[in-house]
């Protein structure tokens, strides 16, 4: 790295990563190194090699990415290399000069294993190998870590640093049976545009073409509306709405999570699109005695503060586990409690002492810990021609944090159930569970539930939410059975949270039947989601009486 480039980038890096230790090395960058794959394809990578005083040998860090080797990936590599870590950044198959065709998830295990073996044979390899990166760059780590730990431990990573990611993207694509349209189509469009000049600005600029695609039916034509071409993977995602299909099974690495023997660090946010699954991966490793380091902050998927903290955490984690240096971290779990506005450390997730507290939906729109009296159901009509819009929430886009729902809750297709003013704080830490007693004139319909914190000034701020589809082609095995009155108990968990409801505030449960375009609207006819075009009104009844109690179970930390 030239002195001029170093002087230009140093202020940027200091601002982005304020928690890093001082720079100790200059950098030599070797670009476009070729890594041969078993099928004859070469993948390109850039090596960031520290040049400077000798010292304790730092691990070599591998980053495999479909997003190029400049921009964000360079901002991952340079801070580590400047502190003594050799970093090899490789472009995934079919991206940024690497050979072959990019087909998301399909080739990452084979290519990743070949790359791990190649890195360990290079003269610049330092003897231990770590991996790091967010989102898809984390998925490629899961694709390799468990498999190599089980079948070829000599080439397995010695440490794994994961941010805002999961080992099975199918579960997030078809979330409880609902197609995650905003993420699936938005990501597809960004991939097709990412190698253009100024592409890094795309997530922050209005995109009319993408907005039109979100509203287009059938869904199977959305890629052509958004990108002007047919996307093979988008078509595959829509065609395979059953997560037990071999298409998804061959991409899922959830079963190998507990095979990972290397120390694992996880950084994520309460508003990240992969949060529930990342915390379940943490729990799986903890259950077999290999508790990862976990940091969860008030961040969404693209939050720059999260990446800054993740960079500092990665350096500290690697130095502690692979170089024997001390760490200030006293406990494996570090959480930011929203509402309270403070960081806390625990030995486990969820923390010890959490107990269930059941809050019942009441006739007339109340929410209380008392059993509901008899009363008429709450009713609304869901119209897929004017679908209930999404308002914030976890997405692969900016603006995922808490938003004020007050205006949204005035819509006739949104029900609210609100507690009395709290006189003592209620601290919810874990995954809330909801049961909505639903009667609908449509066999196929969605239930969307959001937990909000109502402030004294009337703001209704998002805490967490989730959706569940029933009656879909792929949901039959888990669909609730209607009773003699046609009522189905629709049960699901909300996004994990750690939030304190302060005295003077109120709890609110919001019930609707959609969050478009975060999730594709449910047309109501039960046809395959990919090709459905006919739209049907859904007349919904939420029951809340002694026989059919709708409720939310909150994991409360006294």
Summarize pLDDT for 42-92 with one digit per residue, the tens: 999 999 999 977 767 899 999 999 999 988 888 899 999 999 999 999 999
Q: Please, are residues 136 and 67 in contact by the beta-carbon 8 Å criterion?
A: yes
DSSP 332: S
Distance of CA 481 to the CA centre of its chain: 31
pLDDT at 1: 41
pLDDT at 473: 87
| Structural domain spans, the chain | 3-177+241-346, 355-556
CATH of domain 355-556: 2.60.120.260
Q: Please, are residues 487 and 439 in contact by the beta-carbon 8 Å criterion?
A: yes
Q: Report the length, in residues, of the chain.
A: 558
pLDDT, tens only, 179-209: 999 999 999 999 999 987 666 666 666 789 9
CA distance 211 to 215: 7
Q: Please, are residues 301 and 332 in contact by the beta-carbon 8 Å criterion?
A: no
pLDDT at 410: 98
Count the neighbouring beta carbons within 10 Å of the beta carbon of residue 97: 16
pLDDT at 174: 98
Question: Which residues of the chain are modeled with pLDDT < 50?
Answer: 1-2, 4-5
- State how beta strands 42-51 and 87-91 pair: antiparallel
CA distance 296 to 53: 35
Classified by CATH at the fold level, domain 3-177+241-346 comes out as: Rossmann fold (3.40.50)
CA distance 466 to 273: 11
The residues near 384 (Cβ < 8 Å, ≥ 6 apart) are 514, 521, 522, 523, 524, 535, 536, 537, 538
Q: What is the largest CA-CA distance in the chain?
A: 77
CA distance 162 to 266: 5
pLDDT at 72: 81
CA distance 222 to 237: 12
């Amino acid at each position: 790295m030239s002195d001029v480039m170093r002087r230009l980038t140093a202020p940027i890096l200091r601002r982005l990563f304020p928690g890093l230790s001082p720079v100790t090395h200059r950098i030599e960058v070797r670009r476009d190194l070729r890594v041969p794959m078993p099928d004859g394809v070469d993948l390109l990578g850039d090596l960031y090699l520290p040049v400077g005083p000798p010292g304790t040998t730092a691990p070599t860090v591998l980053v495999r990415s479909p997003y190029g080797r400049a921009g964000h990936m360079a901002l991952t590599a340079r801070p580590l290399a400047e502190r003594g870590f050799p970093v090899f950044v490789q472009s995934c198959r079919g991206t940024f000069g690497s050979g072959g065709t990019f087909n998301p998830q399909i080739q990452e295990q084979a290519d990743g294993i070949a790359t791990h073996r190649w890195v360990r044979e290079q003269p610049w390899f330092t003897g231990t190998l770590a991996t790091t990166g967010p989102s898809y760059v984390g998925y490629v780590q899961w694709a390799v870590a468990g498999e190599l730990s089980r079948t070829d431990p000599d080439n397995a990573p010695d440490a794994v640093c994961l941010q805002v990611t999961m080992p099975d993207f199918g579960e997030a694509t078809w979330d409880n049976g609902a197609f995650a349209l905003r993420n699936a189509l938005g990501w597809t469009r960004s991939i097709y545009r990412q190698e253009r000049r100024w592409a890094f600005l795309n997530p922050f600029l209005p995109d009319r073409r993408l907005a039109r695609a979100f509203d287009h039916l059938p869904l199977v034509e959305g890629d052509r509306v958004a990108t002007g071409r047919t996307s093979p993977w988008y078509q595959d995602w829509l065609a395979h709405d059953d997560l037990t299909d071999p298409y998804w099974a061959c991409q899922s690495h959830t079963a190998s999570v507990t095979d990972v023997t290397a120390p694992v660090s996880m950084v994520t946010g309460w508003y990240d699109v992969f949060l529930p699954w990342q915390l379940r991966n943490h729990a799986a490793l903890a259950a077999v005695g290999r508790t990862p380091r976990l940091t969860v902050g008030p961040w969404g998927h693209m939050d720059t503060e999260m990446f800054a903290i993740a960079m500092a955490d990665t350096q500290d984690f690697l130095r502690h586990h692979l170089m024997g240096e001390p760490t200030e971290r006293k406990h494996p779990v570090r959480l930011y409690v929203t509402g309270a506005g403070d960081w806390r450390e625990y030995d486990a997730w969820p923390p010890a002492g959490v107990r269930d507290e059941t809050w019942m939906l009441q006739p007339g729109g109340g929410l209380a810990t008392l059993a509901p009296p008899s009363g008429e159901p709450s009713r609304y009509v869901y119209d897929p021609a004017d679908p209930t819009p999404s308002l914030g929430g976890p997405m692969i886009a900016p603006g995922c944090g808490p938003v004020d729902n007050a205006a949204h809750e005035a819509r006739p297709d949104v029900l609210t159930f609100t507690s009395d003013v709290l006189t003592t704080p209620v601290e919810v830490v874990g995954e809330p569970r909801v049961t909505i007693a639903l009667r609908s004139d449509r066999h196929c319909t969605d239930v969307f539930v959001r937990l909000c914190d109502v402030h004294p000034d009337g703001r209704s701020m998002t805490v967490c939410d989730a959706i569940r589809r029933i009656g879909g082609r792929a949901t039959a095995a888990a669909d609730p059975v209607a009773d003699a009155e046609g009522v189905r108990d629709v049960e699901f968990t909300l996004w994990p949270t750690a939030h304190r409801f302060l005295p003077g505030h109120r709890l609110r449960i919001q019930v609707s039947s959609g969050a478009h375009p975060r999730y594709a609207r449910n047309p109501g006819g039960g046809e395959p989601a990919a090709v459905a075009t006919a739209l049907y009104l859904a007349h919904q009844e939420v029951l809340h009486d002694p026989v059919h109690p709708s409720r939310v179970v909150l994991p409360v930390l006294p």
